[in-house]
Amino acid sequence: MMSHENSAETAQDVANPDRQALLADLARVLPAEALLSADEDLKPYECDGLTAYSALPWAVALPQNDEQVVAVLKVCHARQVPVVARGAGTGLSGGATPVVQGVVLSLAKFMRILEIDPLARLARVQPGVRNVAISEAAAPYGLYYAPDPSSQIACTIGGNVAENSGGVHCLKYGLTLHNVLRLKVALMNGDVIEIGSHALDDPGYDLLALMIGSEGMLGVVLEATVKLTPKPRTAQVVMASFDSVIAAGDAVAAIIAAGIIPAGLEMMDKLATAAVEDFVHAGYDLTAAAILLAESDGTAEEVAEEIATMSVLLEQNGARQLRISQSEAERLKYWAGRKAAFPAVGRITPDYMCMDGTIPRKHLSHVLTRIAELSAEFHLRCANVFHAGDGNLHPLIMFDARNPGETERAIAFGAKILELSVDVGGTITGEHGVGIEKVKQMCVQFSREELDKFHAVKAAFDPLTLLNPGKAVPYPRHCSEYRLTGSAR
């Protein structure tokens, strides 16, 4: 893979006078333990969840308070050194991959929940607080933080803001965007701004919409206020199996047409089902072409009503087996497989790449058929996990990096899937972000003029292009390289 391509360069940098001067400046504003510069200390920060890309930065800063963050930014701003903010490093698109000759700004020490206000239903937290920790702290009040990305045990709210993270319940409860009220943000020049408020809106442009999902390119989150949601009394899930993905897709459409927004609506194809059944023994139907999980939550009466309606619709649309969870343990067991889909696939292949396109659901069968054709063409297996309610498809391309050329084949296969998503009117990324992984495919989805606007938006916050440069928005040269393959717009 492409790991460590930059280590030689970094080693030479030890004596680099610019680096020495930067380290001296940082040492003046940070306690000694909050500044890492030895290669072995930098190593744990060389990549995020996308391990195929890595680089050693010049330094890692671990500030402990707002003043230190601002001071680090000012030092880097003055020296025009790039800064990459980092939460838990669970991101899947390389958004936190270090920039060589740059500084990684870790928010790991910002772990305090500053306030839970049960009456106002909000939590004010530091960016390094883990997603699930907010729900844990709110639980005594019957409240929780709704977005639940599958990395929620480890990922931080700062990272969630950067990526606009979703989760399996976002069709009903929204994305990070819909659940964040306010951010305190440090700009690259050290200015601290407040965006949003504890009211429901703010005068002026909706800068929260820009900040959330900005992949760490506009500012560094110092504090976030998130909405807390009343915890539903109860939840139940129906598991249905189908002979074709078309029938499963039709069943999803029928549920939504009937006026139901299920709390969760997830699909897995045969290969994914087999992988997870082997891993968690949830009792999935292994002969089915597709498995559908449909969850209802709310009061007991509400759930009973919704489950009954959904069951009828699933049967009418050709479900050949229907199982309704009869206990919380059983519900969690049915979900365990879906939630463990990525690691389960990881067990049956040395390496895999997770794609993240969103497509209009009506094109599901076309897209899956095309993916099967590509799978044969590239000689690589591909399992599919689908957030069926909102059209977010995760094809998991399996490969073995030890076989020469196979990584390149997997990357090429993945690129085809992303282009296919755009062709049918969708997007290259539904929830994982562009990062460095999909930066070239941005040239497929956006025109030169649209990409220019993205650069202008960045410049409105960070005129010197120092925050997480090179991520998410390609430069024209990326696109001209990509255009040679005939794909860019």
Partner 1 sequence: MSDRVEEFRSRILERKPLRLKGGGSKDFYGGPLRGEVLDTRGYSGIIGYEPTELVITARAGTPLAEIESALAARRQVLACEPPHFGAATIGGAVAAGLSGPRRAVAGSVRDYVLGVKLMDGEGRELIFGGQVMKNVAGFDVSRLIAGSLGTLGLILEVSLKVLPLPLAEATLRFELPQDRALDAMNRWAGQPVPLAATCWQGDVLTLRLCGAQAAITAACEKLGGERVADSEAANFWAALREQSNAFFAGPDTRGPLWRLSLPSVTPPLELPGPQLIEWGGAQRWLRGAVDAASLREIAAKAGGHAALFRGGDKTGGVFAPLSPALMEVHRRLKQSFDPYGVFNPGRLYPEF
Check: CB of residue 164 under 8 Å from CB of residue 175: yes
Distance in Å, CB of 455 to partner 1, minimum: 9
Q: What is the nearest approach in angstroms of partner 1 to the Cβ of residue 417?
A: 14
Q: Which residues pair with 59 in a beta bridge?
A: 103
The residues, any chain, with a CB within 8 Å of residue 196's CB and separated by 6 or more, are: 180, 181, 182, 183, 202, 207, 208, 225
- Minimum distance between the CB of residue 193 and partner 1, rounded to whole angstroms? 5
Beta bridge partners of 60: 36, 104
- 278/419 with CB nearer partner 1: 419
Residue closer to partner 1 (CB basis): 197 or 316:
197
Say how far apart CA 263 and CA 89 lie, in whole Å. Answer: 28
Could you tell me how many helices (H) and strands (E) the chain has, helices first?
18, 18
Q: Which is nearer to partner 1, 447 or 485 (CB)?
A: 447
Which is nearer to partner 1, 57 or 249 (by Cβ)?
249
User: How many CB atoms within 10 Å of residue 248?
Assistant: 28
Least separation in angstroms between CB 169 and partner 1: 12
Q: Which is nearer to partner 1, 214 or 241 (CB)?
A: 214
C-beta atoms surrounding 270 within 10 Å: 19
Closer by beta carbon to partner 1, 387 or else 478:
387
Nearer residue to partner 1 within complex by CB, 170 or 383: 170
**364-378 and 245-257 helices cross at what angle (nearest 10)?**
150
Q: Please report how close the Cβ of residue 149 comes to partner 1 at its closest, in angstroms.
A: 12
CB of 12 vs partner 1, minimal distance in Å: 35
State the Cα–Cα distance between residues 346 and 139, nearest whole angstrom. Answer: 33
**Least distance in Å: CB of 290 to partner 1?**
17
CB of 396 to partner 1, least distance (A): 18
**Closer to partner 1 by Cβ: residue 60 or 207:** 207
Q: 366 vs 454, which CB is nearer to partner 1?
A: 454
Cα–Cα distance, 362 to 481 (Å, whole number): 33
CB of 87 to partner 1, least distance (A): 16
Q: Considering only CA atoms, which of 479, 268, 296 is closest in space to residue 387?
A: 268
Q: How many residues does the chain have?
A: 489
Q: Can you read off the two tokens belonging to residue 11?
A: 């080693």
Residue pair 46/53 in contact (Cβ under 8 Å)? The answer is: no
Closest CA to 284 of 273, 272, 275, 295: 273
Residues with Cβ < 8 Å from 181, sequence gap 6 or more? 122, 196, 197, 198, 200, 225, 226, 227
Cβ proximity to partner 1: between 240 and 472 the closer is: 472
User: φ and ψ at 111, to 5 degrees?
Assistant: -105, 15
- Beta carbon nearer to partner 1, 57 or 167: 167
Q: Please state, in angstroms and rounded to a whole number, the distance separating the CA atoms of residues 489 and 448.
A: 8
How many angstroms separate the first and last alpha carbons of the chain? 28
Closest contact distance (angstroms) between CB of 376 and partner 1 is 27
Query: Within a 10 A sphere around the Cβ of 403, how many other Cβ atoms?
Result: 11
Task: Give me the amino acid identity at 117.
Answer: D
Contact 430, 167 (CB under 8 A): no
- The minimum distance between CB 233 and partner 1, in angstroms, equals 5
